[in-house]
Every structure is written in structure tokens, then in C-alpha cells.
Amino acid sequence: MIKKNITKLLLLLAIAFSALSLTSCSTIPDELDSLDKTLVAYERAIRWRNYNGARALQVKPMKVSDFRRQRLKELRITSYKTIEKVIAPDYSKAELLVDIRYYYDKSAIERVLTDRQVWLYNEKSNRWQLDSSFPDFKLY
């Protein structure tokens, strides 16, 4: 009798634990999903030289001089790797550390830039925006 009750109790606990673990794994906040999509869009914009697309994700879009615009046309990204991502508990802010490897067409030297990014979630527009400057790619 006691053995039968213990078996039932263990079975109920196993079912309850399984149900609890399934519900906790399946709920990803919309802000996190939106952040991931925004980070991928920003990375693609930088990698493929869509600087207007990258600027559109900034809180205050940067102004680009003609000189810098010409240099950016010669820039080639070889690698874009997120090293660290810290997200605020309330999902309002994300801080990233990204290594960007690049070179210029006129130079055979690959350089590495560590870019610190601060992303803020705008509740009015339901989107993430970059609140830090554009990566400072050094000239050749």
C-alpha cells in the first residue's frame, strides 16, 4: 500500500515537473525575439555595406562625410562575431561586444575592431535601436 502511494506520488511529481519545464522553455519574450532579428539585420547591413540600412537602426542616425562615404565603399568585412551579450532583466537594454574583421580594397592588411554596442528597446515603436556610434573603422 505504501509502495503504491509512493509510486503514484512520484508519477504525479514527474508529470508536474515536465509540464512546468515545458511551459518555461516555450515562453521567449517578444523583446528577445525582436532583438535577435534586429541584430541579424544590423550585422547583414554592415557586412554587405548597406550603411543606410545600418543607420536606420540608430537612435540618432550618423552623418557621413563624402570622404568617409568613399572609404566605406572600399571597406570589406571578413568576419562579424558577437563576443558578449548582456541583456537587462526588464529587456529594455542590451549591451554587446562585437569583433569585426575588415580590410580595404587598397590594402592587404586585415584589421580587427572591437565594437561596443548599446541597444535600447523603444516601447512606442516596439523595436530595438542602436544608441552608440557607428563602428570606427580605421583608414589604411
Q: Are 34 and 42 in contact (CB under 8 A)?
A: no
Provide the terminal-to-terminal Cα distance of the chain, rounded to the nearest Å.
82
Give 30-130's CATH code, choosing from 3.20.20.70, 3.40.50.1820, 3.10.450.50, 3.40.50.2000.
Answer: 3.10.450.50
* pLDDT confidence of residue 2: 65
Higher pLDDT residue, 50 or 68?
Answer: 50
Q: Is the pLDDT of residue 20 over 50?
A: no
Give per-residue pLDDT as tens, 79-129.
Answer: 999 999 999 999 999 999 999 999 999 888 999 999 999 999 999 999 999
Taking the domains of the chain in order of start, what are their residue ranges?
Answer: 30-130
Reported confidence tier of residue 6, pLDDT bands at 50, 70, 90: low
Reading the block at residue 100, the C-alpha cell is 569585426
> What is the value of pTM for the model shown?
0.76
Of residues 72 and 129, more confidently modeled = 129
pLDDT at position 23 over 90: no
| Residues 83, 104: Cα–Cα separation, whole Å | 23
Output the pLDDT for position 68: 84
Dump pLDDT digits (tens) for 41-53: 999 999 999 999 9
Residue carrying C-alpha cell 587598397: 106
Q: What is the DSSP string of 51-105?
A: HHHHHTTBSSPPP--HHHHHHHHTEEEEEEEEEEEEE-TTSSEEEEEEEEEEEET
User: DSSP letter string over 91-119?
Assistant: SSEEEEEEEEEEEETT----EEEEEEEEE
